[in-house]
C-alpha cells in the first residue's frame, strides 16, 4: 500500500500513533480514540454530547500529544484522517476551536523543547490501514458508554448546529402533520432546503409552481372561480399538473419525445415526483422543452 510504503521510507524509526473520532448523528453521542499499535496501547474516551466531529478529532489529537509528552517518546508520528484538524495545526488557527488547538500547540512546543520529535500526517480512512481501522473501531465502541469522561463545552458553531437540527425536526414534524400543501408533500417529503438551479428565473418560477400545483391549469382556475369544471377539455378528467405532464392524450407525441430524451440521460423515474424533485439540470431542461412544445409553459 502506498501509505505504508511512504511511512516505512520516511518515518521508519517513528512510533506511529493513530487517532479517530466517532459520533452518532441521531443521539449526538461522541467519543474518541488513540491507538499505538506497536505498543498494544488503546485509549478511548466518551466525550460530551453535541460536539462536532471536528472538535472530537482535535480532542483525540490532544490526548495523543499529551500521551507522547507524558511517556517521553522520542520520535512520534501522529496519524489522523481529519484533514481539517491537521490544517488547523499547520496554520495555528481554528475558526471554531482555537481553545483546544492552543492546548495541542502548547503540548507540541514542550515536546520540541525537550529535544524530541513529533510529526503529523494525514491518513486516508477506511482503506484497510491497520492502525486507522483499530482507532475507528475503538472510537465507535465507546459510544455505548453512558458516562461522559471528557466534559467539553460546545462552541458557538456547534450551538448553531444543534439549534438548526432541532428547528428542522420541529419543522419536519409539522410538515408531516400539515393538511395543506399536500401536492408539494407528495414531491418533497423532507423539509431540507431545495434550490431549483436551472439558471433561468422564469424556469425556476415554473418549476416552483408545478411543485406547488398552483398554476393556470383548469384545476386551479376552478378553485378561483374561473372555470366551471376544472376538467381537461380532451380527457374529461381533472386538469392537474400530474394529468398534463403524465397522462393527457393531447400531448402524447410531445410526452414520448420527452421520455426518449430522458432515457438518453439514463433517467428512469417518470413519475411526477421523479421529474420535479431533481436538481439534474439536463432533466429540468428536457421537462421545460416538453412544457414549451405543448404550450403549457405559458399557462404556468
The reply to whether 148 and 9 lie within a common domain is yes
Reduced to 3 states (helix: H, G, I; strand: E, B; else coil), residue 38 is helix
The reply to whether 147 and 244 lie within a common domain is no
174 part of a folded domain: no
Whole-model pTM?
Answer: 0.67
How much is the pLDDT for 193? 61
* Structural domain span for residue 144: 2-152
The reply to whether 131 and 256 lie within a common domain is no
In 10 A of CB 138, how many CB atoms? 20
Average pLDDT over residues 105-130: 93
- Of the three residues 96, 128, 152, the one that is the final residue of a domain is 152
E strand intervals along the chain:
15-24, 29-36, 41-47, 75-80, 117-122
The reply to whether 46 and 103 lie within a common domain is yes
The reply to whether 82 and 6 lie within a common domain is yes
The reply to whether 13 and 128 lie within a common domain is yes
273 part of a folded domain: yes
Could you give the CA distance from residue 300 to residue 287 in angstroms, rounded to a whole number? 13
189 part of a folded domain: no
Could you give the CA distance from residue 196 to residue 280 in angstroms, rounded to a whole number? 9
- Of the three residues 120, 152, 184, the one that is the final residue of a domain is 152
Residue 269 to residues 66, 263, 273, Cα–Cα distance (Å): 55, 10, 8
The reply to whether 134 and 206 lie within a common domain is no
Q: How many structural domains is the chain composed of?
A: 2
Specify burial of residue 9 (Cβ count, 10 A radius: 0-12, 13-18, 19+). Answer: exposed
pLDDT over 90 percentage in the chain: 63
Average pLDDT over residues 199-210: 85
- What is the DSSP secondary structure assignment for residue 298, as one 8-state letter? G
The reply to whether 14 and 124 lie within a common domain is yes
- Of the three residues 119, 152, 185, the one that is the final residue of a domain is 152
User: And the C-alpha cell for 204?
Assistant: 425556476
15 part of a folded domain: yes
Cell numbers 489529537: residue: 61
pLDDT in tens, 220-256: 899 899 999 999 999 999 999 999 999 999 999 999 9
21 or 266: which carries more pLDDT confidence?
21
173 part of a folded domain: no
Confidence check: pLDDT of 195 > 70 = no
The reply to whether 148 and 200 lie within a common domain is no
Q: What is the CATH number of the domain that holds 37?
A: 3.30.420.10
258 part of a folded domain: yes
106 part of a folded domain: yes
142 or 6: which carries more pLDDT confidence?
142
The reply to whether 256 and 143 lie within a common domain is no
The reply to whether 265 and 137 lie within a common domain is no
276 part of a folded domain: yes
How much is the pLDDT for 269? 86
The reply to whether 10 and 126 lie within a common domain is yes
Reading phi first (left if > 0) and then psi (alpha if -120 to 50, else beta), residue 145 is in beta
Amino acid at each position: 500500500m502506498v501509505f505504508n510504503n511512504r511511512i516505512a521510507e520516511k518515518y521508519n524509526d517513528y512510533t506511529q500513533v493513530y487517532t479517530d473520532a466517532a459520533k452518532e448523528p441521531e443521539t449526538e453521542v461522541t467519543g474518541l480514540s488513540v491507538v499505538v499499535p506497536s505498543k498494544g496501547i488503546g485509549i478511548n474516551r466518551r466525550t460530551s454530547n453535541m460536539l462536532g466531529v471536528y472538535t472530537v478529532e482535535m480532542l483525540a489529537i490532544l490526548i495523543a500529544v499529551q500521551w507522547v509528552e507524558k511517556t517521553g517518546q522520542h520520535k512520534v508520528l501522529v496519524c489522523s484522517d481529519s484533514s481539517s484538524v491537521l490544517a488547523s495545526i499547520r496554520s495555528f488557527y481554528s475558526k471554531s476551536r482555537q481553545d483546544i488547538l492552543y492546548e495541542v500547540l502548547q503540548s507540541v512546543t514542550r515536546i520540541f523543547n525537550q529535544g524530541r520529535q513529533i510529526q503529523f500526517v494525514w491518513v486516508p480512512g477506511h482503506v484497510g490501514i491497520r492502525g486507522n481501522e483499530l482507532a475507528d473501531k475503538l472510537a465507535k465502541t465507546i459510544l455505548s458508554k453512558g458516562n461522559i469522561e471528557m466534559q467539553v463545552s460546545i462552541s458557538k458553531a456547534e450551538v448553531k448546529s444543534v439549534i438548526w437540527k432541532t428547528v428542522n425536526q420541529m419543522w419536519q414534524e409539522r410538515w408531516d402533520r400539515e393538511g395543506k400543501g399536500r401536492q408539494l408533500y407528495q414531491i418533497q417529503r423532507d423539509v431540507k432546503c431545495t434550490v431549483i438551479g436551472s439558471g433561468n428565473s422564469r424556469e425556476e418560477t415554473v418549476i416552483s409552481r408545478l411543485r406547488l400545483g398552483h398554476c393556470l391549469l383548469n384545476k386551479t382556475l376552478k378553485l378561483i372561480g374561473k372555470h366551471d369544471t376544472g376538467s381537461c377539455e380532451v380527457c374529461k378528467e381533472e386538469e392537474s399538473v400530474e394529468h398534463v405532464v403524465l397522462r393527457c392524450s393531447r400531448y402524447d407525441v410531445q410526452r414520448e419525445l420527452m421520455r426518449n430524451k430522458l432515457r438518453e440521460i439514463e433517467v428512469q423515474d417518470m413519475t411526477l415526483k421523479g421529474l420535479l424533485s431533481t436538481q439534474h439540470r439536463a432533466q429540468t431542461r428536457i421537462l421545460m422543452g416538453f412544457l414549451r412544445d405543448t404550450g403549457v409553459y405559458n399557462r404556468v
